[in-house]
Amino acid sequence: MMRQFVADLHVHTLLSPCAEIEMTPHNIVMNAVKHKVDIVAITDHNACDNVVAALEAAKGTDVTVIPGMEVESKEEVHLLVLFEKMRQLKAWEQFTKLHMSGRVNDAERFGAQFIVDADDNFVAEKTEMLLASLTAGVAEISKQVKNIGGICIASHVDRPTYSIISQLGFIPPDVELTAVEVSRRMRVAQAPQRIPAIGRLPVITASDAHIMSDFIDGPKTNFYLEEPTLGEIRQALLAQNLRKVVV
């Protein structure tokens, strides 16, 4: 049966160096249950080590976790990449590892990068610097995501930094995006007029949460779906089979 699902497709865990220690997978899932968020995408910077913990934490709840990542291209463009299955995300992870900067994280300067399990137990501290550009460009990234079976969404296109519009001024024709995201700074309905460069691409919004209050109070997107899957979300973004984004 078709119904509305509340989704936040841009959430960081404590693996992202700019996220607070409270952003554990278990804590995110429990707050999603409490605040009736049906779908959560875990999208840490250039890494996915805490996604399995989030999937485990969501078992037995009504929360669906979408495996994902927020990647930074060589042009310093942030892109959300989302996949239906963990095995697809792991395939994507291999691509990112080939294109990492090779720099070591400075935890005192940028923040620590913690990997935890589903019960919030410490597993490891990731040493690679995640707040850095990959050596792959936006077109190559979007093509590889599509080849693996995922979708690519341009992050916070209304922001003056790290967006495809701020960095490039336009969306190149060889960049295969399923949608664009706006931050809390802009309403979804305003985006096509205020950012004409996005053309007719579907627009969503998300919390881009790095602290729990942002996840709880930040913007979400409502989807009209039959079930909470990435395949259904893809159809909604394309306005197919009665699936849709509810503005």
**What does the pLDDT read at residue 111?**
96
Q: Say whether pLDDT at 247 is over 90.
A: no
Domain chopping of the chain, boundaries: 3-246
Q: Which two tokens stand for residue 193?
A: 């007029």
Residue whose structure tokens are 């690519």: 152
Q: Say whether pLDDT at 170 is over 90.
A: yes
DSSP state of 209: B
- pLDDT 10s digits, 99-153: 999 999 999 999 999 999 999 999 999 999 999 999 999 999 999 999 999 999 9
Beta carbons of 192 and 218 less than 8 angstroms apart? no
% of the chain exceeding 70 in pLDDT: 100
- pLDDT 10s digits, 35-79: 999 999 999 999 999 999 999 999 999 999 999 999 999 999 999
Mean of the pLDDT values across residues 189-217? 97
**Cα distance between residue 223 and residue 233, in whole Å:** 7
Beta carbons of 175 and 197 less than 8 angstroms apart? no
Mean of the pLDDT values across residues 157-181? 98
Q: What is the mean pLDDT of the chain?
A: 98
Q: Which two tokens stand for residue 201?
A: 């691409």
**What does the pLDDT read at residue 219?**
98
Assign a CATH topology to domain 3-246: TIM Barrel (3.20.20)
DSSP state of 101: -
Whether the pTM exceeds 0.95: the reply is: yes
Residue whose C-alpha is closest to residue 148's, from 205, 96, 202:
96
